[in-house]
Amino acid sequence: MAKATRKSSKRMTVSQEVMIQMIDVHKWYGQFHVLKDINLTVNKGERIVICGPSGSGKSTLIRCINRLEEHQRGQIIVEGTELTGDLKHVELIRSEVGMVFQHFNLFPHLTVMENLCLAPIWVRKMPRQEAEEVAMNYLERVKIPEQARKYPGQLSGGQQQRVAIARSLCMSPKVMLFDEPTSALDPEMIKEVLDVMVELAESGMTMLCVTHEMGFAKTVSNRVIFMDEGQIIEENEPEEFFNHPRSDRTKLFLSQILHH
């Protein structure tokens, strides 16, 4: 991790305004209880890193926030709107919550520019010209304005993930969800994506990030959540979390992940 980020993280502020609230959330896949009694409050401007062993339910948790998965019990409230079966609520929340996937999920039949403009035009009803201006702006922020006319298939993995981030940002989301954004990338590309994420954090974006990049967690996040077997086991400030883990499972996990 770049030294600069350590300094900058001090500058970041957290407000008291509640962005996401999960209350007693449970989820089952058939008989399988994936999420057990999840309680989580995320304030505006918070940068939360979620970690935990494979299969612990990290992805499921953040996918519930934009209802790519449905929870069966409890409440999820995003920006004052509760996620229910009401499609209007779902649409509203999805357009306010951006998501970045492990495998980018860019639309391969559209150019980078078209990928970025699709949702602003069709969801926000933005004129194309304006949408393109916004898109160009974000492409510059992720440092690949020159790739605008190319197709995703012509870009490197790191470039593709940066396009995916820009695509989400084009909707001016209030929250960004990241599901292992760097784990499909070659080491030399991880940094370029993390740099973008750090910059995004500095700009005050509310972020929930599933990642195994412990450097990122230490320097950028203001809270780390450790999950196992569908439960939140431990939740703490990064300093405390890494230096004084409370539960044995956290200790075990950290020892495994830091030795690698």
- Give contact residues for Mg ion (rule: CB under 5 A): 59
In terms of DSSP H, where are the helices of the chain?
3-11, 58-65, 87-96, 112-122, 128-141, 157-169, 187-202, 214-220, 238-243, 248-259
At residue 192, φ and ψ (nearest 5 deg) are: -65, -30
Determine, following the binding rule CB under 6 A, whether residue 56 of this chain makes contact with ligand ATP.
yes
Q: Closest distance between ligand ATP and the C-beta of residue 109, in Å?
A: 26
- Asked if 175 interacts with other proteins (CB under 8 A), we say no
Q: Is 32 in the site for ligand ATP (CB under 6 A)?
A: yes
CA distance 191 to 83: 35
* Bridge partner list, 47: 207
Among 113, 119, 142, 144, binds other proteins (CB under 8 A): 119
DSSP string, 47-92: EEEEE-STTSSHHHHHHHHTTSS--SEEEEEETTEE-SS-HHHHHH
Does residue 155 interact with other proteins by CB under 8 A? yes
Least distance between ligand ATP and beta carbon 67 (Å): 14
Q: Decide: 84 and 75 in contact? Cβ < 8 Å.
A: no
Q: Which is nearer to Mg ion, 59 or 147 (CB)?
A: 59
- Of residues 103, 141, 174, 246, which one binds other proteins by CB under 8 A? 103
Nearest-approach distance from CB 27 to ligand ATP, in angstroms: 9
**55 near ligand ATP (CB under 6 A):** yes
Tell me how far apart the alpha carbons of residues 34 and 230 are, in angstroms, rounded to a whole number: 5
Q: CB nearer to Mg ion: give 46 or 180.
A: 180
Task: State which of positions 30-59 bind other proteins (CB under 8 A).
Answer: none
Task: Decide whether 47 or 63 has the Cβ nearer to ligand ATP.
Answer: 63
Tokens of 145: 């304005």
* Binder of other proteins out of 27, 58, 167, 249 (CB under 8 A): 167
When CB distances are held under 5 to 8 angstroms depending on the partner's kind, the choice from other proteins, ligand ATP, Mg ion, none that residue 29 binds is: ligand ATP
Question: Is residue 135 within 8 Å of residue 144, measured between CB atoms?
Answer: no
C-beta of residue 213 within 8 angstroms of C-beta of residue 257: no
Measured over all CA atoms, what is the biggest interatomic distance in the chain, rounded to whole angstroms?
A: 55
Indicate which of Mg ion, ligand ATP, other proteins, none lies near residue 57 (CB less than 5 to 8 Å, by partner kind).
ligand ATP
Q: Which residues bind ligand ATP (CB under 6 A)?
A: 29, 32, 34, 52, 54-60
